[in-house]
Structure 1
Amino acid sequence: MKRVGIQWIVENVEKSVDFYSKQLGFEIDFIGEGPKFAILSRDNFSVMLRQLKESGHIQPNRIPFIKAGWHTEGQGAWDAYIWVEDADQLYKEFTAKAISIIKPLQNTEYGNRDFEIEDIDGYILCFGHTID
């Protein structure tokens, strides 16, 4: 496998493209008409953003976790975990841009060093690297 791409439903493709490109440093690969669909990438991670005709259908993973009574109230319900070369460097980049950090950079019990952000549609992205 060369790369992974995920698809999320968003409320407004234009606003989401702006967030991913300007705030997170993603490159715009494709923007459809409307726009109702876009693909953005950074390194080997791509996100496809889809705006539906009807709003209110966004479903970040934490929503069903909370509804099901998951023991952490939805914490750790990532929508994507992205392995990076240097989580510390990325954390500095994102904090300098005032991105919504919902879990600060830290070493974890599962052997990674990571942090979590929330995008403008409520999706949680966790960025981390394996601790050697």
Structure 2
Amino acid sequence: MDSISPNIFVTDIKQTIDFYKQLGFDVIATVPEQGNIVWAMMTCGKVTFLFQAFESLGNDLPMISRQNGGSLLLYIQTTEVRKFFDDVKDKVKVVKGLEKTFYGATEFSIEDNNGYLLTFAEDEK
């Protein structure tokens, strides 16, 4: 195995794209390319997320249904975590501010526009 790119189901693709652009992500591809987008690929550095509208697979995979958020935390390793925190803290909902963990990482957590928890971390040895 070489990588993992989570396909995250959301209620509003456009709103999700706008949110992740604030974090430095770029849109790489959408389906369809114009109009009412039901799927988008976004990247930032080596991190790739796929976002898909619930209704696009609801008939094929009925188990894809949930309330916003849930028991998923996306742990994203980055560099210059303190600068990144300063850049985004006033644009997003911060759940947990910068802190040094017992395992040596400096990290913070935010909630995205879909209720998912994102933790950004840097190993600052």
TM-score bucket (shorter structure): 0.7 to 0.9
Q: Is the 8 A contact 1:11 1:56 kept in 2?
A: no
Following superposition, the deviation at residue 126 of structure 1 comes to: 0.3
- Displacement over 6 Å in runs of 4+: none
- The percent identity for this pair of structures is 22
**Does 2:23 correspond to 1:24?**
yes
Tell me the C-alpha RMSD between the 2 structures: 2.1
Tell me what 1:43 maps to: 45
**Does 2:122 correspond to 1:129?**
yes
Cα distance in 2 for residues equivalent to 1:83 and 1:4: 14
Cα distance in 1 for residues equivalent to 2:2 and 2:28: 16
Q: Is the 8 A contact 2:79 2:122 kept in 1?
A: yes
Gaps of 5+ in 1: 63-77
Cα distance in 1 for residues equivalent to 2:52 and 2:10: 6
Q: Is the 8 A contact 1:115 1:126 kept in 2?
A: yes
Q: Is the 8 A contact 2:68 2:114 kept in 1?
A: no
Cα distance in 2 for residues equivalent to 1:100 and 1:49: 20
TM-score (norm 2): 0.82
